[in-house]
Amino acid sequence: MTERYLLLDTSFLMALTDLRSISLERVVELYPKATLATTRSVIRELSEFLKGKRKMQARISMEILRKYNIKVFERYNGEADDDLLALAKDLKGVVATFDLELKERLLREGIPVIYLRAGKKLVLDDPIRLSKES
């Protein structure tokens, strides 16, 4: 059996620090037995937030990465959204994001996405499964 990957983007990691209604545990329930991962470019974006107004959220996000031993794909070090899309294609992974533009891009490319619906409920949209149901 191939390894399953759940890829975390910057908006998702930052939201984990803000929203009490979501947690990594809840995300893992939606896509169980997956390896949590991200890209070097997402880490770079978080590092940039350490210098600004959202430094506390960025610091907590970095701590979450360490605490949960989230795998970092080092060779994906370009633009974060492009890297996540490419990595998701390469690994046939699912992406957790709260970035609406990225979510739409991923779904158009046939990549499943976990996001927050109506500001409170995490959902997994799988464009392949949805197209088979219609």
Tokens matching residue 114: 């976990």
Query: Which residues form the domain of 32?
Result: 4-133
Tokens 């803000």 identify what position?
18
pLDDT tens digits, residue range 77-127?
999 999 999 999 999 999 999 999 999 999 999 999 999 887 778 899 987
| Residue 110 one-letter amino acid | G
pLDDT tens digits, residue range 116-132?
887 778 899 987 654 44
Bridge-based pairing state of the strands 34-39 and 4-8: parallel
Tokens 């739409």 identify what position?
104
| Residue 43 one-letter amino acid | I
What's 42's domain CATH number?
3.40.50.1010
Say how many domains are in the chain.
1
Q: What is the pTM of this model?
A: 0.91
Per the CB < 8 A criterion, the answer to whether 111 and 88 are in contact is yes
Cα–Cα distance between 54 and 64 in angstroms, integer?
A: 15
pLDDT tens digits, residue range 11-56?
999 998 887 767 888 888 999 999 999 999 999 999 999 999 999 9
